[in-house]
Amino acid sequence: MDDTKYKINGSVLKAQDGAAVVGIEVEVEAIDGTNPHPSEKETGNDGTFTFDAVKGNYQVRLDEVPAADEDGALWQPRPPDKGDRHVKVQGEDVNVEPILVEPVHSSVTGTVLRVTDKTGVEDVMVVLRATGADEASGVTAETNDGGRFEFLEVSAGSYVVSLENSPVGVGSERLEPVLADPDGGRREVSIPANVNVRQEVAPILLERERHRIFGTVRRSPGGPPVPFAKILVLDTQGEEVARLEADRNGAYEFRADEPGTFLLEVTKHGFRRIDTVVVASDNEHDLVGEDVGAAVTPAAAQDLATFPLLTESVTLAPAPMPSGAPTSTVGQTVESALREALGWRPRWNDPGGFSAALAHSFDLREVEGHTEATWTPRTYAAQVQADLGAITGAQASVYSRARVALDAALPLLDGLYPLDPAADPQDTEAIRSIVRSELTELVAELGVEGGPRLSRVDDLLDLLLRSNIQTRVRTTAGGQLGLLEDRFGLTPGRVDTIDEEENLTNFLILVDYVKEIDTSWQQRRDSFDPTSTATPFLGTQLVLLSRSLAVVAESVTEVNYTMDSVFLGAAERLAIRLQFTGTSLQDSKNKGFDVPVNTPSILLAELLSWVERVASEEGPRLLQDGGKDGAVALTPVLDKLRKLVRAALLDTGSGPSRGQQSQDSVPAGYATSRVQRALAELAKYLDDTTGLANQLRR
């Protein structure tokens, strides 16, 4: 038998950048009985390993999967490669193909349970976001039929797990975190570096949505509490519901089985009755003594003393979608349905636009072997373009350039490697991740429908290029790019080979891409500033106008709820007739609100329904079908409505909110400060919407 020893040489490298993986265990084992006992070795500083072997067949593989390196970080072969290498030694040294590995990430798991029986709550959306991150950021997971959720591939750091929405709707129920939970359903979790962990958070316990009134009994606003005060709770018919006693600190709490209106009265200390409303939420309300009357205006005091406090959780109207004109053919019916479902006007010669509209409106996910589609209703935006999304004009120009720059810059960023031999791998990866995140956020912000937030874009560009960060060298840029240059040692003085010069060149190109985005933004910035004199672009302006119409529709809902709270129901609103005197009116900005003398009277309910229909149906349909011409046609209607709503206010004799209605001709509830305030806000939103429409002219 030939006992001559030969070498089996190989290496373990990172799949991402080809860097060495140091201290990872590799084993070699004969598979033909030549040497049945495996031999193990750790990779050296250059990631290589060497085994002595005689002639025969061998298998080279990682000792374990996942395998730990010298720092404890876990690695696994990059799929579909399993990391096994079959070697035949025939009489010379053998070089094995490198084993490419990638890091193994940690995971975060938990459960959402009912507090009553500890059963899982299905289909609840849970969010994982980095500690201190914006509420709009993070990734979501949905609980399964056992109430479990799981976030995979979580990097090291501190995170917060919370419900995406609270309360959550489950069938006919509404559930929220239990009152005893000090964190309100939020769970903090920390993922350590260089290890693979499955981190389980404490269960999130849910109970039926609470209907509580709670607060403190006080002798005066901000005054001392009244300990052990007696409180009587009545329903709207005056029937006793409960008797309460405050604690030594004057705190009280009442829980109702169902939402409703309740009257609270302190039965001692000479306090007056206080009315409140509990609807699907917790309402905090202090019971304050009679001397509170001196601290509020007479109108507000009369309002509080006569009618319930409006603390109802108002369900706002959904964003308006055009209802479509009456149809007479199958084609018109299909076109109307597509407009409403996709927020897109069908065009037979634009299949790309149809595909983009589908992608914007439906989110497809693989769930347990089947595909689920989630529809996101969209308000009117500029016509959806297949390559840009629902943006046009200057925004399309800036966003298009930025997205092209991002697509080209990210591969360059990921391919950078340090020229400084003393560079810390953790420091270089950290700054690489920061630059990638800020650059991605910048491009995403530029693509926001309705125009980007100016301060947000300015801040991100300053962070990338101009923020004052102390570095050893800076030859190309400031900000995070300058810090990346410093930590990677990307300077001409460190270039010794063509490959290293190509690496430095890639960094310089990356900086130029970001500077190109900055230059494009500075040239077009005024187009997104509502305070500038630049002519607005049609697509962006129509998005803003559509949103403003949605606000008007919501404001009508709020006016109706406010009138309900002073017992002006739907039937009574159909009996209140508004008269218009033609008096010249002015608002705080001296805008005219002249209503012609011959303007016919109108019922209050008719005026509110007119405003709501224009805001939720007619207006969006005009914008959808007519574009700029639709906005021009809508402007006189909005102008008429803002004048009528302003004139629906009471004639107070003076002031910017003066209307044309006599207090003697309307019910007492109509004259309350809360109803007048709600009508004034509706008039203001109509003013704003009219102003936006006025900016679009032929």
Name 140's Cβ contacts closer than 8 Å, sequence gap at least 6: 125, 126, 127, 128, 164
Distance separating alpha carbons of residues 456 and 442, to the nearest angstrom: 8
Distance separating alpha carbons of residues 26 and 30, to the nearest angstrom: 14
Helix axis angle, 628-647 to 619-626, nearest 10°: 160
Q: With 50 as the cut, is the pLDDT of residue 667 above it?
A: yes
- 120-143 in b/e form (b: 16+ CB < 10 A) is bbeebebbbbeeeeeeeebeebeb
Residue 106 CB: number of other CB atoms within 10 A?
21
Please report, rounded to a whole number, the percentage of residues in the chain having pLDDT higher than 70: 77
Count of positions (residues) in the chain? 698
Please indicate whether residue 673 or residue 203 has the higher confidence score (pLDDT). 203
Amino acid at the residue 60: V
Cα 380–Cα 637–Cα 596 angle in degrees, nearest 5: 165
Beta strands at 212-218 and 287-288: parallel, antiparallel or unpaired: parallel
Distance separating alpha carbons of residues 549 and 531, to the nearest angstrom: 20
Q: With 90 as the cut, is the pLDDT of residue 160 above it?
A: yes
Helix H or strand E segment including 437 = helix 425-446
Tell me what pLDDT residue 270 has: 54
CA distances from 283 to 279, 287, 310, 311 (A): 9, 12, 10, 7
**497: helix, strand or coil:** coil
Tell me what pLDDT residue 91 has: 83
Instruction: Indicate the range of 157-171, 335-349, 500-514 predicted with least confidence.
Output: 335-349
What is the 8-class DSSP label of residue 661?
A: B
Distance separating alpha carbons of residues 396 and 448, to the nearest angstrom: 10
Distance separating alpha carbons of residues 686 and 548, to the nearest angstrom: 8
Residue 169 CB: number of other CB atoms within 10 A?
12
Residue 106: CA count within 13 A, CB half-sphere: 21
Surface-to-core class of residue 540, CB atoms within 10 Å of its CB (0-12 exposed, 13-18 middle, 19+ buried) = buried
Tell me what pLDDT residue 149 has: 92
Nearest in space to 16 (alpha carbons), one of 75, 73, 85, 95: 75
Please indicate whether residue 324 or residue 687 has the higher confidence score (pLDDT). 687
* Selection from 69-73, 237-241, 279-283, 639-643 with the highest mean pLDDT: 639-643
**199: helix, strand or coil:** strand
* Mean pLDDT, range 599-610, rounded to an integer: 88
Tell me what pLDDT residue 284 has: 64
Helix H or strand E segment including 499 = helix 498-524
Nearest in space to 286 (alpha carbons), one of 327, 325, 318, 253: 253
Check: CB of residue 666 under 8 Å from CB of residue 579. no
Please indicate whether residue 276 or residue 73 has the higher confidence score (pLDDT). 73
Amino acid at the residue 109: T
Distance separating alpha carbons of residues 168 and 146, to the nearest angstrom: 16
Tell me what pLDDT residue 143 has: 93
* Selection from 33-42, 464-473, 643-652 with the highest mean pLDDT: 643-652
219-274 confidence digits (pLDDT tens): 777 778 888 888 888 776 677 888 888 888 888 888 877 777 777 777 655 555 45
* Mean pLDDT, range 335-362, rounded to an integer: 68
513-568 confidence digits (pLDDT tens): 888 888 888 887 877 776 665 556 666 677 778 888 888 988 898 888 888 888 88
Nearest in space to 452 (alpha carbons), one of 406, 511, 393, 533: 393
Distance separating alpha carbons of residues 451 and 453, to the nearest angstrom: 7
Q: With 60 as the cut, is the pLDDT of residue 23 above it?
A: yes
Q: With 90 as the cut, is the pLDDT of residue 159 above it?
A: yes
Distance separating alpha carbons of residues 507 and 497, to the nearest angstrom: 16
Question: Could you tell me the end-to-end alpha-carbon distance of the chain, in angstroms, rounded to an integer?
Answer: 97
The overall average pLDDT reported for the chain is 78
Tell me what pLDDT residue 121 has: 92
Name 536's Cβ contacts closer than 8 Å, sequence gap at least 6: 527, 695, 696
Tell me what pLDDT residue 144 has: 92
Nearest in space to 110 (alpha carbons), one of 219, 199, 196: 199
What is the 8-class DSSP label of residue 491?
A: -
67-113 confidence digits (pLDDT tens): 888 877 778 888 788 888 888 888 889 999 999 988 877 889 999 99
What is the 8-class DSSP label of residue 401?
A: H
Confidence category of residue 379, pLDDT binned at 50, 70, 90? very low
Structure tokens at 353: 């636009």
Q: With 80 as the cut, is the pLDDT of residue 461 above it?
A: yes
> Tokens 């119409």 appear where?
549
Please indicate whether residue 17 or residue 315 has the higher confidence score (pLDDT). 17
Tell me what pLDDT residue 382 has: 36
Tell me what pLDDT residue 314 has: 39
Check: CB of residue 552 under 8 Å from CB of residue 320. no
Tell me what pLDDT residue 386 has: 32
Name 285's Cβ contacts closer than 8 Å, sequence gap at least 6: 213, 214, 215, 264, 274, 276, 309, 311
Q: With 60 as the cut, is the pLDDT of residue 44 above it?
A: yes
121-133 confidence digits (pLDDT tens): 999 999 999 988 8
Instruction: Indicate the range of 409-418, 438-447, 455-464, 656-665 predicted with least confidence.
Output: 656-665
